Structure 1
Amino acid sequence: MAGAAALGLATSASAADYYVDAAAGSDANAGTSPAAAWKTLAKVNAKTFAAGDRILLHTDQTWVEQLKPKGSGVEGNPITIGNYGGGERKPVVDGRNVAGGGAGGAAVSLVNQSYWTISGLEVVNDNGTDNVVGSNRVGILVNNTSGTLKRGITITGNYVHDVNGCFNCNGANGQTNGGISVVADTMNGLGNGASSWKDVLITDNVVQDVGRTGINFDDYSTGFLFYFVSQDALSKNVSITHNRLKDIDSDGIILRGSKENLIEHNVIDGAGSVTASGSQPGTVGMFVAKTTNTLMQFNEVSGVQTHVVDGHGYDVDLFAVNTIVQHNYSHDNEGGFILLMGGLGSGSDATVRYNLSVNDGFAGDKGIVSLSSGLLNGSKIYNNTIYIKPGLNAPPIAQQGWSGDNNNSWWFRNNVVVNHGTGTWAFPRGSGTTIANNLIYGNHTAGEPADPQKITADPQMLAPSDDAPSGIGNVAGYGVAPTSPAVGTGALIPGNGGRDYFGRPVPSTAPPTRGFHEAQ
């Protein structure tokens, strides 16, 4: 592992490195050199560390015990957990013997601490039981129950796998257990906002074969009860980036209770493989709720399964305000591409633009775009491309769980829909609806919207495939030729973000190309 200076970390005169060697160490040692390494994590957990300290576990070794060190760093000078030894395998922290229940049950645990970096570990936590109905289990859990603001948590470069988390949990919300979880608990259940986080970064981790959730951030202290959000109580500056998730029992990424958030460059391959009677049955690839000012971009989600509800790649859920979903790739998700959750007077201003959906909604009972339980006021769905291969009964748009009567403002503009399937359309009704400048080609099924600027000619896709390619960079074939009727015929939309899916500039003073590819 590189030195602190090479990592760009500030150091202090009193900071020290502490080494842990399960094979050659001894807890009687000082721990401050490889030759005098400690042996157990229990020895680590007994010490209170200070700013700039590093806890280094030897590669190619395993500890079947919990890692729960104490202390806090300071801004610019965190305490770091990392590795040394240069082996092929990261050090393994195995929490199989950690007791579950409540908000515990984690292999790696921090409680009420600030300015920590957790890096370079392999973490597992499977106690060998059927725990779908059982006790909380987490790979890496960072919790704030202090009644104060905590800051500066970075979780990076870890491999977290094989965590048998619960759905119906004893003393915990099932959505908070699984691979990596950062939580701010309420104070006595009152939701007074005192326990919150600022500056949380979860990046460059691999999370695989975990339940219930892959990566979770949750601030429960954002308002009294569930149906209220205090903006002043929200956590702030949460980033979940460059993570790879595979085969998650339920939701891939959850972010709730924060403002000024970034979710980007994540890949989710498979979610929603498990459900349990009596638990919240819905699964999505990634969703935000009780958030303000969130940017969700450059992600790929595929293989999400439906259990009763949902099954979409992306979800802007209850009480989410000013959410931008752009430049994402969604394919082969059973429920659909995106769910926008209205109702309860919640949320507003969801912008969904320059995304690609291929062969989503294949179960045929959800919408590729689902407007669920009401409409988010100010929703703008524009310049997306949707491709549906033959044989699918995927509804391009569906309004579900409500009457469809709506006077809130929302758009569906400049989209390209190539529909070779048989799914029908269902749009909300009301004066707030704007449907304009879309290109809809292929099968014109029941409910297809009227659009005075609609084009029904072949969009001349470059090389579309009925089999969606994996990899967010392998989708150029769904773009359009320069001679396409989509080129230069879209509605000019102010504040369009300035770029298409591929990074090509979008005109700011002239009509753009319809769909996710700016072909001019």
Structure 2
Amino acid sequence: MKPITGVLVTAALAGALIPAAAHADVARAYYVDCSGSGGDGTQAAPYSSLAQVNALTLAPGDQVLFKRGAACSGGLRPSGSGTAAAPVRIGAYGTGTARPVINGGGAVYAGVHLYNVQHYTVSGLEITNKGATAAERNGLLVEIADIGVGRGYLIDDVLVHDVNGGDTKASNGIQIRVSGTTTPTRFDGVVVRNSEIHAVDREGLTTGSSWNCRAIYGCTAPENWTASTNVVFQGNKVHDIAGDGIVMRVADGAIVEHNEVYEVAVRSPGNNAGLWTIDSDGTVIQFNEVHHVRRMPGTNDGTAFDSDYGNRGVVFQYNYSHHNEGGFMLFCGACGGSASSTGTIVRYNLSVDDGSRILYAVGEKAAQIYNNVFVLGASSTTAIIQDGSGSTFTTWTNNVIHNLGTGGYTGGSDHTWRANTFYGSHPASEPADPAKSTADPLLTDGYRLAAGSPARGTGATVPGNGGRDYYGGPVPAVCAPDRGLHQASAFDDATCARPNLAANGDFETGTPAGWSAGAKLSVTAAAAHSGVYGLRGGPAPASAEQTVTLRPNTTYVLSGWGRVSASGTELVIGVKGYGGAEVRAPGFTTTAWASGSVTFTTGASNTSGRIYCYTRAGGGDGYCDDVVVREV
């Protein structure tokens, strides 16, 4: 199962970096073959070495084109910049599909090194940089130092492989790096897309900055945090990486989407994860697939995702995680001394058969984890929460935890639980949840909710929920959502926004207040569909009734949830005395919760009606909860 394709939010940014045409009156194309000798850079007599290209000062709109199938040894480090309207383009020419190869051979710090240049597009290249022994080195490095702002970089359809950089995080397949110490510097406008990185030690695709100091990062020196903006990593494949797959550092509003990361953390003895962010604000990590991340012996991480220390307001959404040895998610706000992290949101993700733990909790001030599906098979020992150092204040809402294994929960009071489904195994450490469901959520193909699922319409509302589910369907802002990653139920927020005219319709007062109830009726936790309490009535006949205030000539919907304790028993909800014939929803006759509703219109002079929950037949009990009367 692949991540679900969504709207590409970066089209406008990427398009802004690629002009329709360069300025033909000043721009020049330089051709490079790297076979033969000499040449003046024309297509008829191409350059034969990277040294010839490096000696140029490129102008806006210039192109450096490498012959397809050619192999150039050494490093490409061009001089001169483009403009927003006319970037410098480095790419390929010729027939066929073979890429031109730039082979650093371990003799250069980076196979391609864009240093203190701006407005560049690099596409269609193959880059390697493998030496006889491991040392700090990179495949493609975009670096700026002490220039203030570097703008306009597009890396598209580039293949980077075989970079033996040892076990240092300064060695990368592709890195977007800010260095220097004298002038605060950042990037504005970087897109790395549709590229592949593999066989690299230690890091895959990352950003980095020397301008990273702020208190939330645990830095006690004078603050100099200077975040890069408009950074996008999109549609890349990163695999066979010694350490981390994709890392976003010191960024504000970055987007990491539609990437596949797998078989990473396979050689480094350090702590590594698949896709993560640190010391950043507002990073959105979405529509990615991360799988088969290793957790090497003696290490802590190995998770698909990580919100590390120094983050504020990071969002992980619509991602697919599976078979990662270290688990699904790491919160590591307390991993950096006095550092912290706050406001992390994890929503509408799917985790299947991840190892070790679903959440490794090592510090977070105010996280939300909602509307995710976590699936663990019968042989799983994966913990749902493994508590580490520091406090991890997290609210779990509307999640479906489909756990057939033996893993449990730690963390205690740091975690708040609202309307989650706990299905399968129930360890002693399973947390209390006032609206807990342990019923089978009836997950179907793609972990959607089947018809009749008790997870439908029983979630708790979450403000600012992103507006869509894992599959791209809308989710309610006002109506009660479905639990899990799939919003199967239809909803009308405009209707739900109207007040419920039934008093104590959810029975959460713990009493039948507002209802006329006889001796055969009681409010009890055993009858709760959601929340803590519901109404139990039986044996038949047993009826609870309530008069509601209505408006003449107005249409209303009466809805509610019901079930019975035994076969042969029937429970109904209905309304009478409103100026029309008495109407009832279809009777509830099964032991599973189901919803029912009726629509009615008041008479010309009627200002009230009588609603009821009525166990009308059988020797068992009827259970009624979440009764709602709303104007249409």
Per the normalisation by structure 2, the TM-score is 0.71
> Is contact 2:211–2:225 with CA below 8 Å preserved after alignment?
no
The yes-or-no answer on 1:181 pairing with 2:175 is yes
The yes-or-no answer on 1:213 pairing with 2:206 is no
Structure 1 position 30, deviation (Å): 2.6
RMSD, aligned α-carbons: 1.9
Tell me the equivalent position of 2:567: none
Matches within 5 A, 1:351-362: 351-361=345-355
Structure 1 position 44, deviation (Å): 0.5
Tell me the equivalent position of 2:96: 87
Structure 1 position 136, deviation (Å): 1.1
Structure 1 position 196, deviation (Å): 1.8
Secondary structure, aligned partner of 2:53: helix
Distance 1:6 1:267 in 2: 25
Structure 1 position 388, deviation (Å): 0.3
The yes-or-no answer on 1:40 pairing with 2:29 is no
Distance 1:224 1:287 in 2: 19
> Is contact 1:220–1:257 with CA below 8 Å preserved after alignment?
no
> Is contact 2:116–2:147 with CA below 8 Å preserved after alignment?
no
Tell me the equivalent position of 1:467: none
Matches within 5 A, 1:122-161: 122-129=126-133, 131=134, 135-161=135-161
Corresponding residue to 1:511 among 480, 483, 486 = 480
The yes-or-no answer on 1:341 pairing with 2:332 is yes
Deviations 1:231-285 (A, max 9, x none): 7621211111100111111100011011110000000121111124xxxx11110
Deviations 1:275-317 (A, max 9, x none): 24xxxx1111011111111111000000111131111001111
Q: Percent identity?
A: 36
The yes-or-no answer on 1:482 pairing with 2:466 is no
> Is contact 2:318–2:348 with CA below 8 Å preserved after alignment?
yes
Moved more, 451-460 or 420-429: 420-429
Relative to structure 1, is the Cα distance of residues 6 and 341 closer, same or farther in structure 2, using a 3 angstrom cutoff?
closer
Distance 1:447 1:386 in 2: 17
Matches within 5 A, 1:267-306: 267-276=260-269, 281-306=270-295
5+ residue gaps, structure 2, are: 1-16, 490-632
Structure 1 position 60, deviation (Å): 0.8
Distance 1:315 1:221 in 2: 22
> Is contact 1:193–1:223 with CA below 8 Å preserved after alignment?
no
Distance 2:180 2:440 in 1: 55
Secondary structure, aligned partner of 1:233: coil
Secondary structure, aligned partner of 1:96: coil
Distance 1:516 1:10 in 2: 46
Secondary structure, aligned partner of 2:470: coil
Secondary structure, aligned partner of 1:210: strand
Structure 1 position 54, deviation (Å): 0.4
Distance 1:503 1:213 in 2: 32
Secondary structure, aligned partner of 2:169: helix
Deviations 1:15-71 (A, max 9, x none): 1111011235x43x3313x11211111110111101100000000111121111111
Tell me the equivalent position of 2:112: 108
Distance 1:482 1:12 in 2: 62
Q: Which amino acid aligns with 2:23?
A: T
> Is contact 2:214–2:225 with CA below 8 Å preserved after alignment?
no
Q: Which amino acid aligns with 1:217?
A: T
Moved more, 386-395 or 143-152: 143-152
Tell me the equivalent position of 2:360: 370
The yes-or-no answer on 1:73 pairing with 2:73 is no
Q: Which amino acid aligns with 1:295?
A: V
Corresponding residue to 1:322 among 288, 310, 313 = 313
The yes-or-no answer on 1:392 pairing with 2:380 is yes
Relative to structure 1, is the Cα distance of residues 117 and 6 closer, same or farther in structure 2, using a 3 angstrom cutoff?
closer
Corresponding residue to 2:23 among 1, 5, 11 = 11
Distance 2:438 2:73 in 1: 62
Per the normalisation by structure 1, the TM-score is 0.86
Relative to structure 1, is the Cα distance of residues 83 and 321 closer, same or farther in structure 2, using a 3 angstrom cutoff?
same
> Is contact 2:218–2:339 with CA below 8 Å preserved after alignment?
no
The yes-or-no answer on 1:60 pairing with 2:64 is no
Tell me the equivalent position of 1:259: 252
5+ residue gaps, structure 1, are: 100-104, 168-173, 464-475
Q: Which amino acid aligns with 2:262?
A: D
Moved more, 216-225 or 390-399: 216-225
Structure 1 position 427, deviation (Å): 2.4
Deviations 1:387-439 (A, max 9, x none): 0011111001222124x5x6x5x310100001011111112425xx4211000
Relative to structure 1, is the Cα distance of residues 515 and 79 closer, same or farther in structure 2, using a 3 angstrom cutoff?
same
Structure 1 position 217, deviation (Å): 0.7
- The list of structure 1 runs, each at least 4 consecutive aligned residues, that deviate by more than 6 angstroms after superposition, is none
Tell me the equivalent position of 1:466: none
> Is contact 1:193–1:233 with CA below 8 Å preserved after alignment?
no
> Is contact 1:176–1:216 with CA below 8 Å preserved after alignment?
no
Which structure has the larger Rg over C-alpha atoms? Answer: 2
Structure 1 position 147, deviation (Å): 4.4
Structure 1 position 124, deviation (Å): 0.8
The yes-or-no answer on 1:424 pairing with 2:408 is yes
Matches within 5 A, 1:220-239: 220-223=210-213, 227-228=218-219, 230=223, 233-239=226-232
Distance 1:321 1:515 in 2: 25
Deviations 1:95-125 (A, max 9, x none): 11424xxxxx111111111111111101111
Tell me the equivalent position of 1:171: none
> Is contact 1:257–1:289 with CA below 8 Å preserved after alignment?
yes
Distance 1:288 1:255 in 2: 5
Distance 1:6 1:218 in 2: 25
Q: Which amino acid aligns with 2:420?
A: N
